[in-house]
Amino acid sequence: MNPFIKIRRDLHQIPEPGFQEHKTQAYLLEYIHKLPQDHIEYTTWKTGILVRVRGKAPTQTIGYRADMDGLPIREETTYDFPSQHQGMMHACGHDLHMSIALGVLTHFASNPVDDHLLFIFQPAEEGPGGAEPMLSSEEFRIWKPNIIFALHIAPELPVGTIATKEGILFANTSELFIDLHGRGGHAAYPHLTNDMVVAASHLVTQLQTIVSRNVDPLDSAVVTIGTIEGGTKQNIIAEHARIEGTIRTLSMEAMQKVKQRIETIVHGHQLSFHCQMNIDYGANYCQVYNDTTLSREFIKWAQEQSNVKLIECREAMTGEDFGYFLKEIPGFMFWLGVETPFGLHHAKLEPQEEAIDVAINTITEYLQWKGTST
């Protein structure tokens, strides 16, 4: 078996929440420790890892990032190597991301290029967000790269295909949590209560009007409510309810508009339903904005390669905290085709493992080209 497919399968079995990737970190460190050590040095930050391959005649440092954490999803794949952690799954491809990074690192540990290479194993991409604090950490600052790039698997694209574009690739995102507090009581005496199931139901419906009636139709935004909880029994009027969702926009102006409208609607509902509502925006991720020069250069380079097909794609409403790296460091992200009928964050996601070699070879060749002085 291809060793990096085996690594992917090992990692697939131990998905962990953000900043709790202890087994994952230990697995990666054990592998890194076995690599030739002549040209590499590494350190940890929380549950993440930074590995630098020292260049032979460095003029810059090129960073490559892979994320590490899993998702709170109960796996429903057909694998004979399913998650061993109940209720957790690598449903966003981070197991592939890490195995690909190890494959590229393995090559350059024995074959350094002129420039320094920094391999970034970043925790907590799914939440609460590891990129922003990692970026500002002392450990990262010491080896801070001059340019940076990363990939993300794309279930809808065929194996052998990569896709990217100049400018915005992924959206600005924000979590959304709203708690509603009223007055509970017996179902037979509704006039003595303030029913938070009814209030929450009206609120969810009202929130769905924001995009259609408050956001410029030529802009893009999404407000999705993923969960609604309230009440304890069928004959008890609920004193508390909670809704959880996500906001996604292609501009910060739209994000600000959506949040302002949410706050106005919530204020009105407090008066209408005689209750208290509290808003928490949770983790906020900025857009993934590809540097024009570097992404254009990468597109041109990839179009000349025979082992991979590059597609210039549209932007997506996907969220990714890699955007924080790109706010401070020029770089780009691209999609990697893994051809599977189930999408990201789905319990049945089964990426095609042949894509691992495609990515390792493509990134290795790109770094060989980009990291060699001419």
Buried (b) or exposed (e) across 258-271, using 16+ Cβ within 10 A? Answer: bbebbeebbeebbe
Cα-Cα-Cα-Cα dihedral sign, residues 184, 190, 191, 194: positive
What's the pLDDT at 374?
A: 58
How do the domains of the chain map onto residue ranges?
A: 3-169+287-370, 172-284
What's the pLDDT at 339?
A: 98
Q: Using one digit for the tens of pLDDT, what is the confidence trace for 238-293? A: 999 999 999 999 999 999 999 999 999 999 999 999 999 999 999 899 999 999 99
157: its two tokens: 């694209």
On whether the 3-169+287-370 domain is CATH 3.40.630.10, my answer is: yes
What backbone phi and psi angles, to 5 degrees, belong to 280?
A: -130, 120
In the chain, the amino acid numbered 224 is T
DSSP 250-269: SSHHHHHHHHHHHHHHHHHH
The pLDDT tens digits along the chain (374 residues) read 899 999 999 999 999 999 999 999 999 999 999 999 999 999 999 999 999 999 999 999 999 999 999 999 999 999 999 999 999 999 999 999 999 999 999 999 999 999 999 999 999 999 899 999 999 999 999 999 999 999 999 999 999 999 999 999 999 999 999 999 999 999 999 999 999 999 999 999 999 999 999 999 989 999 999 999 999 999 999 999 999 999 999 999 999 999 999 999 999 999 999 999 999 999 899 999 999 999 999 999 999 999 999 999 999 999 999 999 999 999 999 999 999 999 999 999 999 999 999 999 999 999 999 999 65
Q: Using one digit for the tens of pLDDT, what is the confidence trace for 363-372? A: 999 999 999 9
Q: Do domains 3-169+287-370 and 172-284 have the same CATH topology?
A: no
Q: How far apart are CA 121 and CA 139, in angstroms?
A: 13
CA-wise closest residue to 246 among 207, 274, 219: 207
Collect all residues with Cβ–Cβ distance below 8 Å to 81 and sequence separation of at least 6.
9, 10, 12, 13
Element of type H or E holding 97: helix 94-110
Task: Tell me the CATH architecture of domain 172-284.
Answer: 2-Layer Sandwich (3.30)
Collect all residues with Cβ–Cβ distance below 8 Å to 223 and sequence separation of at least 6.
176, 207, 208, 210, 211, 245, 246, 247, 258, 262
- E-strand stretches of 138-217: 147-154, 161-164, 167-170, 172-181, 185-186
Catalytic residues: 67, 126
Secondary-structure breakdown of the chain: helix, strand, coil percentages, each rounded to the nearest 5: 35, 25, 40
What's the pLDDT at 283?
A: 87
Q: What is the DSSP letter of 183?
A: B
Q: How far apart are CA 367 and CA 63, in angstroms?
A: 10
What's the pLDDT at 140?
A: 98
